[in-house]
Structure formats: structure tokens, C-alpha cells
Structure 1
Amino acid sequence: MKLFNKQRFRLIKAQRLKSYTVYATGEILLVIIGILIALGINNWNQQRQLENANLKLHQQVLSQLEEDIHTISAFQKDLDSLNQTYRRVLNRTYDKGKILASGSLSTILLEAYVLSLDQRISNLIDNAKLDESVASQKMVDLNGAYKLYLKDLNDIERIIFTKITNNLAEIEQTQDWYAEFITDLVCKNDCIYYLRDDEGHKSRVASLRFLYVNRYGKVIDDFHNDLLVYKAELKALISKKIQKKIR
């Protein structure tokens, strides 16, 4: 009888251990599932926050992009006016209505016309945490385009500044009227004759015009055209993201 009791006790004990093991395993699985669900919800919230932040960033970049395109368009008109001023000095046909109001002499001798764009777009993109959307990749490409074009423009600007400085230095060293001109901005007959007829001066002016029209202006035109393409593509991608968000 004792033998049967012992055997029954062992079976009950084994059954309890098995039940406890099943229960403990279930508890562990529930904890793991709970953790996974919590992590999933947290990741989903983080992803949603990142997407919202990126959508806001995309809209800011698009707004600044439109401003920059407007600035470049206005500068293109200034470059066209500058070209007409150079053509006048070089005795070529020119559009009188486009001559810069500041006058030919001060424009050619003393002023440098350069595109002024701030670094807002690059700063926005460089300092942002981007998601993996097509729109974000497009902004990375846009940022690269900005940096490349602005570097090219900066390189040409240095050459233009050097040319203008060297031209002034040549006049300073060789022309008696320079002091009166640079002090009072008065250009009398000998000054006018030199600026209009001196072949060395005309050659330097022609080089400046080439830099502005054929080099600087070409980069400006390409920059403007590329930004128009980026604007259209980014605008379409943002609109698509907003529509998807609404759904």
C-alpha cells in the first residue's frame, strides 16, 4: 500500500512540475510578446515622428528653394544688364534700356556683381535626421548640387575680383587722372579717352566680360535650371507624402 502511495505522490509531483513548467513558459512568452509589442509601438511612434519632422523639413526646404530661384532669376537680369554695359564700353551693339543705373565707368572699374545666397538649405539638410524616403534622398542630391554650384561660383568670383583689382592697379600706376577719378569719381577727357580707346584697357574689360557672361553666367544658368527641376520633383514628392498621410 505504501508503495502505491509513493508512486502516486511521484506522479502528482511530476504533474505539478510539468504544469508549473508550462505556466512559467507561458509567463515568459507573454513577457517577451509584451516587450516586442512595446518595442514595436515605440519604433512606430519614432518612425512617425521622424516622418512628420522630415515632412516639415521638406516643406521648409521647398520654401527656401523657391526664394533662391527667385533671387537667381533677379540676378540673371542684373547679369544681362551688366553684359549690355560691357558691350557699350567695348563699342558693340547694346540695349540702352538695360544699362545699369550706376553708370558704365563705376560698374566696369569699381563694382563686382556676384550672386548672394545664404546657406540655409545646406544648413537645414546637414543638421537634419533624414528618413529613408525618396524625398529625403532628393534633398541630399539637392544639397550636393548647392555645394557644387556655389563652389564653382566662388572660384570664378575670386578670378573676377583679381581681374578688377589688377585693372585698377594698372590704371593707378600709369594714368595721372586716377587720383581725381578715385577720389571724386570725375572722369574728364583724358580719362574718357583712355577708358574708351586704350587697347590694353579694352582687352582687360573684354576678359572681365568673358568671365561674367561665358563663365559665371553659364554656371548661374545651369544652377537655375537644375533648381527648377529639383523644385518640381520635390514638390510632387511632398504632395504625395501629404496625400498618403491623409489616408
Structure 2
Amino acid sequence: MIKFFRKIRYNLMEQNKTGKYFKYAIGEIILVVIGILIALSINNWNENRKDRNKEISILKALHKDFKNNLNDFNRIKELHINTLNKQNIVLRNIDKFPNPKAIDSIFNYGKNMFGGYTYNASNGTIESLISSGDINLITNDTLKNYLVSWKDVLEDYSEEEIISQRLWHTAIEPYMIKKGLFYKPDT
């Protein structure tokens, strides 16, 4: 093909048809530019396709992490609710402590009411996305903003958890130990 075009150019030069030669040269340049533009378009399309496929795999990994986080959170929440219910029963009955029936009831609920369960969310996928810059592959800006702020949400939750544990250990637990015996008395 190149020999064919070269032959046309030489023929035009030999025949002293410089006007036609320049038109031909401009046409050839335009064809080369169009070819380059088509190749760039195909390359851009292919890169966008790869980015969308990578985005889908990222979203699947995030979905899996957050699904596991939600399951863990619900499990810890249930443990906290059970502990709170046991604490409420003990506190309602603590003034009846000398009563033998109340002692058994308080013991049954009191033995597991000092649980200290913490929630530790997984954020490895998000950290990896942020550190690698792959977070920019996510096209939904709202989701991207939520993912970037996830670390702050976890820190706020952890601070609240620490405050609750501190309150429990410094005020509630000492009060309950002082007001009642939380072991099964020998009968």
C-alpha cells in the first residue's frame, strides 16, 4: 500500500504537477490524522471499558465488606441489647436483694451483664481504594464522598463506644457491685 502511494507521488513530481502533488500530500496527511484519531478513539473506548469493569469489581468488593460490616454490627447490637435488658432486670430487682428469689433472679441475669462488646468495622477495601487512587474509578460522586468520610464515621462511633465503656466501668459497674452480690451463694 505504501509503495502504491509512493509511486503516485513520484509520478506527480516527475510530471511537474506540483499543485496536484500538494493536494495529494494534504489528502494523505488528512488520512493519517483520521487514522490516528480513530485509533485514539478505540483506545479510549477500551480504557473506559476496562475502568467500568474495574469499577464493577470494586463495587462488588465494597458491597461484600459492608454486608459483612452490617452483619457484625447487628450481632454486636444484639449483644448490647441483651446486656442492657439483663442490666435493667438486675437494677429493677436490686432493692429486693435480701429476698432469696431475687438473689437467684439477680444471679441469673447478673452473671452476663458485664459484657464489653466492641464493634470493629472492616475498612480495608476503602483504605486500599483511597491510597491507590482507584476511588476515582467510582463514577457516583455521592458514593465516593460517603466512602471518603467512612473513616470519620468509624472514628466518631469508636469515640462514643469509649465514652460508654468508661461510664460503665467508672460508674455503673461499681454501683452494681456495691449494691449486690453477683455470684451464686452457697445454699
TM-score range, shorter chain: 0.5 to 0.7
Identity rate, percent? 20
Higher deviation after alignment, 80-89 or 145-154: 145-154
Q: Which residue does the alignment assign to 2:84?
A: 83
Change in CA separation of 1:100 and 1:61 when aligned onto 2, cut-off 3 Å: farther
Change in CA separation of 1:84 and 1:45 when aligned onto 2, cut-off 3 Å: same
Change in CA separation of 1:193 and 1:60 when aligned onto 2, cut-off 3 Å: closer
> In the alignment, residue 151 of structure 2 is paired with which amino acid?
K
131, 135, 144: which one pairs with 2:137?
131
Q: Which residue does the alignment assign to 2:49?
A: 48
170, 179, 182: which one pairs with 1:195?
179
8 Å Cα contact 2:90-2:109 kept in structure 1: no
Q: Distance in 1 between matches of 2:176 and 2:171?
A: 16
CA RMSD of aligned residues (A): 3.4
Q: Which residue does the alignment assign to 2:30?
A: 29
> In the alignment, residue 78 of structure 1 is paired with which amino acid?
L
Q: Distance in 1 between matches of 2:48 and 2:67?
A: 28
Change in CA separation of 1:44 and 1:102 when aligned onto 2, cut-off 3 Å: farther
Report 1:12-23 matches (<5 A): 13=16, 16-23=17-24
Q: Distance in 1 between matches of 2:53 and 2:146?
A: 20
Report 1:188-227 matches (<5 A): 194-196=178-180
Secondary structure of the residue aligned to 1:38 is: helix
Q: Distance in 2 between matches of 1:117 and 1:130?
A: 23
104, 112, 116: which one pairs with 1:103?
112
> In the alignment, residue 63 of structure 2 is paired with which amino acid?
L
| CA offset digits 1:38-65 (Å, max 9, x no partner) | 1111111111110111111111111222
Q: Which residue does the alignment assign to 2:144?
A: 140
Q: Which residue does the alignment assign to 1:152?
A: 156
| CA offset digits 1:218-247 (Å, max 9, x no partner) | xxxxxxxxxxxxxxxxxxxxxxxxxxxxxx
Gaps of 5+ in 1: 1-11, 172-190, 198-247
Secondary structure of the residue aligned to 2:92 is: coil
- Is 1:117 equivalent to 2:121 in the alignment? yes
> In the alignment, residue 196 of structure 1 is paired with which amino acid?
G
| Aligned residue pairs, count | 153
Change in CA separation of 1:161 and 1:132 when aligned onto 2, cut-off 3 Å: closer
Gaps of 5+ in 2: 1-14, 95-104, 182-187
User: Structure 2 length as normaliser, TM-score?
Assistant: 0.66
If asked which structure has higher relative contact order (CA below 8 Å, sep 6+), I would say: 1
Q: Distance in 2 between matches of 1:102 and 1:72?
A: 24
Change in CA separation of 1:132 and 1:57 when aligned onto 2, cut-off 3 Å: closer
8 Å Cα contact 1:125-1:140 kept in structure 2: no
Report how far residue 69 of structure 1 moved: 1.5
